[in-house]
Amino acid sequence: MSHPAVLLDLDRTLVDVQSFTDYDTAWRDVLAVLGQAVEEHGPETGWTAATRACMALLGQLPAGDQWYAVSETIAGHERAAVGLSRPMPGVAAFLEALSGVPVAVVTLLPQDVARQVLERHGLGVDAVVGRDPLVRPKPAGDGLRRALELLGASSDGCHMVGDSAWDAAAAREAGVGFIGVHSPCSEFSAFPEAPVAASLAAALPHLRPS
């Protein structure tokens, strides 16, 4: 019997990179590259204003030189945080419990940064979908659909585990279930159908087929 796929956010779900990334300076650097501000910063979330602005802009810019310039500007700060990043409590046991289940990470971090983070902490998954100008990022569901393609899995019975409203919005759009973790219930107030787990261990029962 095959198991439904599990899709996982990375930052602050499996490993905390964000707390060690200087998104304030990244945003100032982005504005210098861009030469203008942006008004729409995506769904409300517990991120800092600069973090949210950086991620929202990457979702708004079309594929092209400007997208790559902005992404690389931000990525320099994200790469600097890899060595400082910290695993979230219970992450190794959580992934071990999912052995035999198709698992993919879907993240707003660049693909190379995501893989460096996973390798640093010895965390193995079957596929990684990082930010890509041709794949609409969270809160859109395109990255989740791409992950399912890479896994050769369907959305039936699939769940996403994440720490932000952006993860929940992406899961809803992609037609997969969602479980919140590592954030207060208020983060997911717009998603009353989604259970919120106090830990990765507490999220596991929601991922096991009944």
Instruction: Give the model confidence (pLDDT) of 26-54 as tens digits.
Output: 999 999 998 766 666 778 899 999 999 99
Domain with CATH 3.40.50.1000 in the chain: 6-17+85-207
The CATH class that applies to domain 6-17+85-207 reads alpha beta
* Mean pLDDT for all residues in the chain: 94
Residue of 42 and 110 predicted with greater confidence: 110
Question: Is the pLDDT reported for residue 1 higher than 80?
Answer: no
Q: pTM for the complete prediction?
A: 0.96
Measured between alpha carbons, how far apart are the two ends of the chain, in Å? 13
Radius of gyration of the CA atoms of the chain, in A = 16
Q: What is the mean pLDDT of residues 114-132?
A: 98
Tokens of 132: 């890509």
Residues 6 or more apart whose CB falls under 8 angstroms from that of 139 comprise: 42, 43, 59, 165, 166, 169, 170, 173
Q: What is the mean pLDDT of residues 20-27?
A: 97
**Strand boundaries in the chain, DSSP class E:** 6-8, 15-16, 86-87, 103-110, 127-131, 159-162, 177-181, 196-197
Q: Mind listing the pLDDT tens digit for each residue in 143-179?
A: 999 999 999 999 999 999 999 999 999 999 999 999 9
